[in-house]
């Protein structure tokens, strides 16, 4: 009796622990195919709550775009949205979007997709569907009802979910009466809908462990990608081993709208074979010294590092080795020569973006115009100078490069400056910038928080959005839109780690100009302002013609007009 009580208590404890650790997945996910190439999860309640705190609702949104009384489309859009919100769909639960691909070389490509939402009131939803324009007859399937809409779209529902789905088929015609070409049709929606409602849980995305882990994350939006399905659906790649290499490879991301910023995290999972390659060559970190060497404050950069031998491994696994070898031999070098050239450290750095006035002559007439300019440097660390010299010499024989000042340079280099000193290949937008960069004094002035986030990463990307927009605000025909963007966005940074044995982790942050306001509210206000400006522009065009446009938006015929394009360089 004592042993029985002990085992009963132990069993109860195990069950309690197991059930407390397991978070049930949303019912909607069981209707999403396991091989969906993309899934997008919208946390409607979270987004609505954040928007409401910023006094954003559907009424205020429509009013901010245009005059509802004067624009029938705005009135109709508002009405449609209000009816949808009362349609019986549970808007407190997540809405899922998915896409699926398939096909073959002979049969053609098939793309299907769907939207899956939770049902709150099936009776109310059926009444809503019946009231839609050109709604067809409601039919009964196996444990669900459905109706055909326009464009071969189908809506199906039961007491748990509502699904909107459609299918597009594309096939290549080879020898028929109409000749070769591509034909498309949207048939198959009813069958696709039936398959979704008949789908077992083990056939759904809910059965994938990595997807289950994603569903545990707290986010306003979640997104999922299936590289294995994507590559398998491409007929040509299906004939190679590339699809096998990406088997069981997934991407899982989380997006959150916080005060003053949008944050996103992403995990890239790899199957056994691809993971072995990442693990074999993991470790390189982006060389931020390449960025810090820039002679003026940067407005953006991309710095990354990887072992080029990864490319050789993928080419070999995919079965392309003989094809690449044959192509390279015609040029006089090998893939190994090319891959040995670079060490794997790269950086693109830019700054001083502005509008510059320029002039040129066309048909004996001198024209003035303005063009965007920037200072930019590309830096690549050299791994094997002998390999570089060999490939460059062969390219010179082919007429692609030429010897100048003791080094090979591309013949079509133009105004760009080129330097290869055996350690680094550096390309700059002009010779002055190149010499300043080579001097190595450095005045990049990367913000300390950005530098800290970039340190030790395999990949780091940064752009000062606000500063770049400022360069265009005064001299652009879309000045009002640019000013709205400048008052909304500050900067963006994205980084990626090395492979950690399970996945590659990446993070992104979009910083807003107003750090006190929720970023979702800031974005909604921005897009509303852009939409309002677009509507205003359209109204001016429709009611007043071109003469009703502001003069600063139009080129002036007697001064700085935008002329015909200059003649091509000979």
Do the beta carbons of residue 254 and residue 213 sit within 8 Å?
A: no
pLDDT at 324 over 60: yes
Considering 121-130, 172-181, 250-259, 475-484, the range whose residues carry the highest mean pLDDT is 250-259
Global pTM value? 0.84
Considering 8-22, 92-106, 393-407, the range whose residues carry the highest mean pLDDT is 393-407
CA 541 from centroid of its chain's CA atoms: 33
Do the beta carbons of residue 299 and residue 464 sit within 8 Å?
A: yes
- In degrees, rounded to 5, the angle at the alpha carbon of residue 379 between the alpha carbons of residues 373 and 381 is 175
Encode 213-228: b = buried (16+ Cβ within 10 Å), e = exposed.
ebbeeebbbbbbbbbb
- Shortest CA distance to 505 belongs to which of 556, 557, 458, 554? 458
DSSP state of 22: P
Task: Assess whether 204 and 293 both reside in one domain.
Answer: no
Task: Assess whether 296 and 210 both reside in one domain.
Answer: no
Residue 432 lies in a domain: yes
Encode 99-119: b = buried (16+ Cβ within 10 Å), e = exposed.
bbbbbeeeebbbbbbbbbbbb
pLDDT at 362 over 90: no
Task: Assess whether 191 and 326 both reside in one domain.
Answer: no
3-state helix, strand, coil in the chain (%, to 5): 40, 30, 30
Q: Give the residue carrying structure tokens 């996103």.
A: 264
User: Within 422-518, where are the H helices?
Assistant: 431-439, 448-454, 465-472, 479-486
DSSP state of 152: G
Range in 144-158, 248-262, 550-564 the model is least confident about: 550-564
What would the pLDDT profile of 496-514 be if each residue is shown by its tens digit?
999 999 999 999 999 999 9
Cβ contacts of residue 54 below 8 Å, gap of 6+? 517, 518, 520, 521, 524
pLDDT at 431 over 70: yes
Q: Of 176, 194, 219, at which residue does a domain stop? A: 219
User: For a pLDDT cut of 70, what percent of the chain falls above it?
Assistant: 81
The pLDDT confidence band at residue 106, using thresholds 50, 70 and 90, is low
Task: Assess whether 113 and 194 both reside in one domain.
Answer: yes
The pLDDT confidence band at residue 107, using thresholds 50, 70 and 90, is low
Q: Biggest alpha carbon distance in the chain?
A: 109
289 lies in which domain range?
280-502
Cβ contacts of residue 210 below 8 Å, gap of 6+? 250, 252, 267, 269
Task: Assess whether 215 and 286 both reside in one domain.
Answer: no
pLDDT at 547: 42
- Shortest CA distance to 29 belongs to which of 202, 255, 253, 192? 202
Residue 13 lies in a domain: no
pLDDT at 18: 39
Residue 82 lies in a domain: yes
Task: Assess whether 67 and 196 both reside in one domain.
Answer: yes
Q: Of 441, 475, 502, at which residue does a domain stop? A: 502
pLDDT at 392: 95
pLDDT at 129 over 80: yes
Q: Give the residue carrying structure tokens 């067809």.
A: 136
Task: Assess whether 124 and 212 both reside in one domain.
Answer: yes
Q: If you average pLDDT over every residue of the chain, what do you get?
A: 85
pLDDT at 60: 63
- Shortest CA distance to 530 belongs to which of 72, 48, 61? 61
Residue 469 lies in a domain: yes
Using CA atoms, how far residue 280 sits from 32, 273, 275, 309, 519, in Å, is: 35, 11, 8, 10, 40
**C-beta atoms surrounding 39 within 10 Å:** 23
pLDDT at 86: 82
Residue 515 lies in a domain: no
DSSP state of 420: E
Greater confidence, 174 or 372? 372
pLDDT at 55: 82
CA–CA dist 510, 492 (Å, integer): 4
Do the beta carbons of residue 254 and residue 264 sit within 8 Å?
A: yes
Task: Assess whether 103 and 213 both reside in one domain.
Answer: yes
Greater confidence, 18 or 461? 461
Task: Assess whether 170 and 293 both reside in one domain.
Answer: no
pLDDT at 23: 54
Using CA atoms, how far residue 329 sits from 287, 301, 427, in Å, is: 33, 36, 28
The pLDDT confidence band at residue 152, using thresholds 50, 70 and 90, is confident
- Shortest CA distance to 338 belongs to which of 316, 307, 308, 378? 308
For 221, the 3-state DSSP assignment is: strand
Q: What are phi and psi of 530, to 5 degrees?
A: -65, -40
User: For a pLDDT cut of 90, what percent of the chain falls above it?
Assistant: 59
pLDDT at 533: 77
pLDDT at 179 over 70: no
Task: Assess whether 337 and 486 both reside in one domain.
Answer: yes
Residue 268 lies in a domain: no
State the DSSP H helix or E strand holding residue 346, giving kind and residue range, or none if neither: strand 342-362
pLDDT at 384: 97
pLDDT at 44 over 80: yes
pLDDT at 204: 97
What's the average model confidence in pLDDT over 405-422?
A: 93
Residue 10 lies in a domain: no
Question: What CA dihedral angle connects 364, 366, 370 and 371, to 10 degrees?
Answer: 30
- In degrees, rounded to 5, the angle at the alpha carbon of residue 453 between the alpha carbons of residues 449 and 455 is 115
Task: Assess whether 45 and 151 both reside in one domain.
Answer: yes
Residue 301 lies in a domain: yes
Q: Of 191, 219, 247, at which residue does a domain stop? A: 219
Range in 243-257, 386-400, 518-532, 535-549 the model is least confident about: 535-549
What would the pLDDT profile of 479-489 be if each residue is shown by its tens digit?
788 999 999 99
The pLDDT confidence band at residue 282, using thresholds 50, 70 and 90, is very high
Task: Assess whether 192 and 321 both reside in one domain.
Answer: no
Look at the chain and report how many structural domains it folds into: 2
Range in 147-161, 232-246, 455-469 the model is least confident about: 232-246
Burial of 376 (0-12, 13-18, 19+ CB in 10 A): buried
pLDDT at 124 over 60: yes
What's the average model confidence in pLDDT over 144-167?
A: 91
Range in 5-19, 208-222, 253-267 the model is least confident about: 5-19
> Read out DSSP for 73-106?
HHHHHHHHHHHHHTSSB-TTS-EEEEEEEEEETT
């Amino acid at each position: 009796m004592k042993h029985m009580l002990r085992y009963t208590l132990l069993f109860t404890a195990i069950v309690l622990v197991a059930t407390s650790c397991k978070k049930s997945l949303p019912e909607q996910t069981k209707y999403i195919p396991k091989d969906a190439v993309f899934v997008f999860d919208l946390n409607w309640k979270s987004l609505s709550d954040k928007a409401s705190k910023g006094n954003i609702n559907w009424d205020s949104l429509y009013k901010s775009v245009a005059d509802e009384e004067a624009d029938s489309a705005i009135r109709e859009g508002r009405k449609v949205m209000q009816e949808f919100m009362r349609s019986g769909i549970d808007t407190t639960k997540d809405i899922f979007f998915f896409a699926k691909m398939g096909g073959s070389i002979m049969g053609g490509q098939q793309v299907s997709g769907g939207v899956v939402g939770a049902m709150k009131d099936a009776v109310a939803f059926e009444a809503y569907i019946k009231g839609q324009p050109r709604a067809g007859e409601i039919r009964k399937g196996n444990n669900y009802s459905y109706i055909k809409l326009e464009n071969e779209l189908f809506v199906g529902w039961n007491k748990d979910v509502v699904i909107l789905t459609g299918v597009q088929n594309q096939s290549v015609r080879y020898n028929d009466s109409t000749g070769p070409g591509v034909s498309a049709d949207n048939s198959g929606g009813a069958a696709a809908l039936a398959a979704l409602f008949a789908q077992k849980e083990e056939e759904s995305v809910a059965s994938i462990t990595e997807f289950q882990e994603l569903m545990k994350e707290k986010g306003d939006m979640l997104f999922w990608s299936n590289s294995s399905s994507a590559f398998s659906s491409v007929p040509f790649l299906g004939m190679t081993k590339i699809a096998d290499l990406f088997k069981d490879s997934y991407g899982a991301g989380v997006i959150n709208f916080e005060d003053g910023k949008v944050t996103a995290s992403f995990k890239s999972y790899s199957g056994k074979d691809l993971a072995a390659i990442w693990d074999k060559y993991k470790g390189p970190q982006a060389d931020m010294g390449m960025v810090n060497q820039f002679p003026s404050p940067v407005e953006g950069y991309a710095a990354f590092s990887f072992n080029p031998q990864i490319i050789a491994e993928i080419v070999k696994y995919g079965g392309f080795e003989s094809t690449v070898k044959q192509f390279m031999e015609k040029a006089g070098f090998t893939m190994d020569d090319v891959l040995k050239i670079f060490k794997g450290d790269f950086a693109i750095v830019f700054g001083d973006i502005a509008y510059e006035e320029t002039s040129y002559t066309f048909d004996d007439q001198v024209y003035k115009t303005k063009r965007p300019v920037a200072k930019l440097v590309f830096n690549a660390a050299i791994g094997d100078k002998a390999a570089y010299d060999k490939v460059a010499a062969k390219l010179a024989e082919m007429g692609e490069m030429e010897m100048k000042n003791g080094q090979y340079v591309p013949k079509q280099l133009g105004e760009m400056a080129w330097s290869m000193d055996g350690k680094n290949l550096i390309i700059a937008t002009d010779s002055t910038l190149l010499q300043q960069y080579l001097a190595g004094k450095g005045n990049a002035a990367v913000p300390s928080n950005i530098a800290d986030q970039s340190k030790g990463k395999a990949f780091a990307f940064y752009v000062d959005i606000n500063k770049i927009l400022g360069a265009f605000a005064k001299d652009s025909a879309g000045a009002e839109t640019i000013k709205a963007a400048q008052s909304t966005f500050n900067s963006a940074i994205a980084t990626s780690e090395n492979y950690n044995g399970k996945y590659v982790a990446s993070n992104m942050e979009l910083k807003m100009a107003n750090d006190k306001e929720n970023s979702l509210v800031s974005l909604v206000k921005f897009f509303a302002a852009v939409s309002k400006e677009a509507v205003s522009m359209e109204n001016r065009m429709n009611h007043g013609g071109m003469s009703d446009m502001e003069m600063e938006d139009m080129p002036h015929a007697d001064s700085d007009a935008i002329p015909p394009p200059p003649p091509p360089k000979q």
